[in-house]
Amino acid sequence: MAQCVIRYSSLMSRWQPDAQRRLERAALELFAKQGFADTTVPQIAARAGLTNRTFFRYFADKREVLFTIEAEFPGRVAQVVASAPTSSTPMPIVRYGAVAVAAAWFEDQREYLTLRRAIIQSDDGLKERELSKQAALTQVVTDGFIDLGFGHGASLLSAHLFMTVLGLSVDQWLDDAGRSLVDCVHDTLRVLETVTSDGAD
């Protein structure tokens, strides 16, 4: 474990292409140690052994360091849309997509996501930024469903269902170290099915 850290660090300091990841790691460590509000861009850059100018090449501000994971989301959604089973209704795609994204993307990032969530929850501005990013991602998912040929209303609702299932599952998973994220997604999908299965009026 210690060896991994050392290898990781030496790799970090050697290759300029890893500047972004070095800045992310330095920022996360400082946010956790001294608080988000009290951490400055020069401190982050210094800890990463880089200049402020390099920082601003990768990030618009110190908040943005926490949202690189969401920058990958549109690409992931495109992959899911391309590999989704053919279906005349969107719900099987919601289920398939939530499991696929959970398995491929989040499962190995538990430690990072736990720390990230704690930092975001500590600051109102970060919470607002997180909600704003999620709203943008919901729009990306809506467009994905529209691309698959579903109507506008069904696509909007399916995208909201997808984001809700994924978001609640991630929260549940970060609260309970004993379970996998995919298990939590299956659980949430079961509860959703129970909630929505009663007859309409």
Which residues lie near its own copies (CB under 8 A)? 89-92, 95, 124, 127-129, 131-132, 134-135, 151, 153-154, 156-158, 160-161, 164, 168, 172, 187-198, 200-201
Least distance CB 185 / its own copies (angstroms): 12
The residue among 29 and 70 lying less far from its own copies, judged by its C-beta, is 70
Please identify which residue in the block is written with the tokens 């946010």.
Answer: 31
Residues 6+ positions from 47 with CB-CB distance below 8 Å: 26, 29, 30
CB contact set of 137 (below 8 Å; sequence gap of 6+) = 70, 73, 74, 77, 163
Instruction: Indicate the residue among 101 and 189 with the shorter CB distance to its own copies.
Output: 189
Q: Which is nearer to its own copies, 9 or 121 (CB)?
A: 121
Cα dihedral 164, 166, 167, 170, rounded to 10, equals 150
Nearest residue (CB) to its own copies, 75 versus 92: 92
Take residue 4 and report the two structure tokens written for it.
């991994």
Residues 78 and 143 sit within 8 Å (Cβ to Cβ): no
Tell me the closest approach of the beta carbon of residue 57 to its own copies, in angstroms.
23
Query: Least CB distance from residue 158 to its own copies, whole Å?
Result: 6
